[in-house]
Structures are given as structure tokens and as C-alpha cells.
Chain A
Amino acid sequence: DAKTTQPTSMDCAEGRAANLPCNHSTISGNEYVYWYRQIHSQGPQYIIHGLKNNETNEMASLIITEDRKSSTLILPHATLRDTAVYYCIVRVGSDYKLSFGAGTTVTVRA
């Protein structure tokens, strides 16, 4: 599996967009980018995933660069409930496991 690099932590203001970067420079052509988040003491929550096109759902947008070596998760209007650890995961479609790193601790401040 390709490794990912994320900042350890970041703060953002409530109501503003939160842009979470992820570097995956060794990603292969058949590897997907997944984002999960984990609010304190709860199970991880699926956010979004993509292969090479940008994706959007009711929670967030995923922007993948053309060379696929990095991506950004965008939370359009952060709320206090978005405070969590965010994990960027690269996964081969045929692999059954998710390989979590340390993630980014995001703190949304009022």
C-alpha cells in the first residue's frame, strides 16, 4: 500500500472551510484515496473516497491532483462537531484491509 503523509494537527474556525491535505506520492494507478474521521472514543466514520476524479457528497469534497500524488479533503462549513482525527488512506481495490496512519487532529474553534 502507498503510504500517506498528513499534518499532525490543524485548527480551523467554525463556519469556515477546512482544507485537509494528504500526500501520497507513491500511489499506484489502481489505488483509491479514502478519508475517514474518528470523533473521540467512537468508531471511524466513512467520509468519502475517489480514484482520480474529484468527488463530492453531503459531508465533504475530495480534490485529487492530476498526478494523483496528493489530495485535499474539504469540509465546506466546519462546525464544532467536525472536531476529530481525520485519516487519509490509500487502498488497492483488491485489498480488503484499511491501513490507518496517525491522521490529522482537527480542532474547530468557535
Chain B
Amino acid sequence: DAGVTQSPTHLIKTRGQQVTLRCSPKSGHDTVSWYQQALGQGPQFIFQYYEEEERQRGNFPDRFSGHQFPNYSSELNVNALLLGDSALYLCASSFPTGETQYFGPGTRLLVL
């Protein structure tokens, strides 16, 4: 049973560029959440997708956007990258009731 997978594992970008991160949910899950984890801090909720719609959003600017595909996989897009966007980006999947979220290994983004 495949768990949550994310790609790529690492990424280096420069300020002002755009980045797309990808996530495939755990088998049987149809809900995907994204989190940002800065160094030394706990993960912070960005948003959650269900039925291809964003249904809850955390305190992140519009530069952060997402998409969910009919096969439940998801993308996180970040535009106009800032140095402060350097972080571990985590994807978590769950059933729609969202009782338990299962996390992927994350994508480490470095913005230079």
C-alpha cells in the first residue's frame, strides 16, 4: 500500500522564480493538505483540497496556489519566490472527514 509521495525531494530556485511541487495521496484518500515547515518550527497549514476545490486556507498570501486533479493528486504552486519561502513543504492526505492526516516525506525548497 503506497503511502503519500511527493516530488521532487529537493529543489533550488532563485528569488522571483515560480515553483511547482507535486503530491500523490495515500491509496484510498481523496483529500490533500499542504503545510510549510520553516527550519526549527512546526508545520504551518497552507490549504486543503477536496473534490478539486480549495476548502480551507491558512494565513498564506495569494502567491501560494494549488490544484487537485481528478485522480486526487495535487500540486502546490508558489509564485514570485522570496528568500523566506525556503522551507520543507509537506503534503498530507486523508479521507474527507479528515480525522487523521498522513504525511509525505516533504520537498525541501531552497530559495537563493
A residues near B (Cβ < 8 Å) are 32, 34, 36, 41-46, 49, 87, 93, 95-103
How many chain B residues touch the partner (CB < 8 A)?
25
Per-residue CB proximity of B74-107 to A under 8 Å, as 1/0? 0000000000000010101000001111111110
Instruction: Name the B residues within 8 Å of A49 (CB-CB).
Output: 99-100
- Given known pairs A42-B105, A97-B48, the reply for A102 and B4 (CB within 8 Å) is no
A98 touches B106 (CB 8 A): no
A43 touches B103 (CB 8 A): yes
Question: CB within 8 A of B45: which of A32, A34, A97?
Answer: A97
- Given known pairs A42-B106, A43-B4, A103-B42, the reply for A98 and B101 (CB within 8 Å) is yes
- Given known pairs A96-B55, A96-B56, A96-B98, the reply for A43 and B42 (CB within 8 Å) is no
Question: CB within 8 A of B102: which of A42, A46, A99?
Answer: A46
A36 to B37, CA, bound (A): 15
Q: Tell me the smallest distance from the CB of B6 to a CB of chain A, in Å.
A: 8
Instruction: Name the A residues within 8 Å of B56 (CB-CB).
Output: 95-97
Q: Tell me the smallest distance from the CB of B101 to a CB of chain A, in Å.
A: 6
Query: Which residue of B has the minimal Cβ distance to A100?
Result: B42
A97 touches B99 (CB 8 A): no
Q: Tell me the smallest distance from the CB of A53 to a CB of chain B, in Å.
A: 15
Query: Which residue of A has the minimal Cβ distance to B50?
Result: A96
